[in-house]
Amino acid sequence: MARRLIRCGKIAGYAQLLKDPLILYYIAFPLGLLTLMVVFLNRKQIRSLFWFGMIWGSLLTTLLIFIFDDVLNLVKYQHAGPFTIFGLPLLFDLAWTPAIIMFVHFLPDKEMKYAFYTYIVLFCLLNASNDEIFHQVGLLKYIHWSPIIRFLISLPYFYWVAIHYLNLRSKGVFAETRESA
């Protein structure tokens, strides 16, 4: 009897997830980024860059989303359902780890200034476009926000990520990554 109730509870939980199909974006987006990371990088590169991606990606993004969502009330994530912790979209925050890992993996050297700065600007445009798509789908509600603000915030963010990564790489912190490439 208890097993049947547990099984029915699981089915009810899955039915709840399927009631709001927007919840599936919170699963698909991080899985898509994780898949891209696994396809383009090998295990040594992922292992070498993981902590960097966690700090600059998930940790810092969680802090920024908390500030922009809860403190300043500029945006609001919606339809996150069971994937929120303290009102923050946990899986979206975690998705920033593979995003940052891929960002630094493909980052051109700073000596090629045109490629370096173009790459950062293009990544910021991709970030702002992603923001607008989430808004149009209904996952992100703009209160006092726009993709232009996201773009302008992303410029120094990705620049600092790139500079910090290149600085650490020049000190040999990511030696495994260089050998594997």
List pLDDT tens digits, range 143-174. Answer: 999 999 999 999 999 999 999 999 999 998 88
SS3 140: strand
List pLDDT tens digits, range 63-85. Answer: 998 999 889 999 998 887 777 88
Residues 6+ apart with CB under 8 A from 168: 52, 174
Residues 6+ apart with CB under 8 A from 7: none
Strand 84-85 to 88-89 pairing:
antiparallel
Lowest mean pLDDT among 53-57, 58-62, 152-156, 177-181: 177-181
Contact 101, 53 (CB under 8 A): yes
Closest CA to 94 of 43, 42, 33, 139: 33
How many angstroms separate the CA atoms of 31 and 54, rounded? 16
Q: Has residue 176 got a pLDDT over 80?
A: no
Q: With bands split at pLDDT 50, 70 and 90, how would you rate the model's confidence at 27?
A: confident
Q: Helices in 20-112 by DSSP H: which ranges?
A: 25-40, 43-53, 60-65, 90-105
How many angstroms separate the CA atoms of 9 and 13, rounded? 6
Residues 6+ apart with CB under 8 A from 13: none
Average pLDDT across the chain, whole number: 86
